Amino acid sequence: MKFSKYHGAGNDFIHVDGMNARRDWSALAVPMCERNIGAGADGLIVAEPSKHADIFMRVFNADGSEAEMCGNGIRAFAKYVVEEGMVKPRGDRLHVETIAGDIFLTLVQAGGSVIGATVDMGPPRFVPSEIPVAVEARPPVLDLPVPVESAAYAVSCVSMGNPHAVHFIDSAVAEFPLREVGPRIEHHPLFPARVNFEVAQVLDRRHIQSRTLERGVGETQACGTGACAIMVSARLHGWVDDEVEVNEPGGVLTLRWDGTSNVFLTGPAVFVYRGEWPD
């Protein structure tokens, strides 16, 4: 089976053509994404036909679980399906169906290649049952204490098509014990569908540094929906303006949100290599 690997700000994905193929993608994602003896990636993305959009994107995490959406993955996916000739964009616009709903992208092109995109990520969701987070509270849920052993971590809860819990700190994010704390937050009973956990430091009104532990993956170089959740949470606190750069270990993502409508995410899409996976 042929595949192609791409990344968006270091968040890397294996892409495969599922337009005419039917496989157990969940089971296949685990060995393909394994970094020591597989192709190595944060997730497997499958292109399938859509009845109403240009194409349908399915995302499988490295542990085989299926994700609703992926902000970095959808930019890489757009580059893959356009440059492989699977779809023809309408000018610079692409309409992608996902489990989380329909997503519209504005492609950034140079020299005949897609080098990035601005993604209309839709509106953030704050109602606890829609995130989901198991609390009875008026939305938005900000600074919710999550007890982990002898400590409690205040998190702001947002859905960007998938669930996020954002923890803000005053010190450098590189010093935070994300790999120890993150899995405990991910699997905490407060989050019935598990959760993506972000730790973020607001540097000024236009710049944030962050790290993410993704549900079903572990720590990643970047997370597009996570960057959206961080920006939205910071703006709800009154700490940032309508446009922010979120600096993650793998690169910089630009977020726009006016506090009332949809969130827009801009970032790169980069080809890595092509290969064949033995059946």
Active site residues: 70, 223
**CA nearest neighbour of 195 among 276, 141, 122, 240:** 141
Residue 204, beta-bridge partner list: 207
Look up residue 187 and give its two tokens. Answer: 């699997």
Look up residue 199 and give its two tokens. Answer: 């730790």
Contacts of 129 (CB under 8 A, 6+ apart): none
**CA nearest neighbour of 70 among 220, 235, 242:** 220
Q: What ranges in 45-198 are assigned the alpha helix state H?
A: 71-83, 178-186
Provide the greatest CA pair distance for the chain. 55
Give the rounded distance of the alpha carbon of 248 from its chain centre.
12
Opening angle at CA 99, ends 17 and 46, nearest 5? 10
Query: Strand 243-248 to strand 207-214: parallel, antiparallel, or no bridges (unpaired)?
Result: parallel
**φ and ψ of 175, to 5 deg:** -90, -10
Peptide bond preceding 140: is omega within 30 degrees of 0, i.e. cis?
A: yes
| Cα 241 to Cα 248: distance, rounded to the nearest angstrom | 19
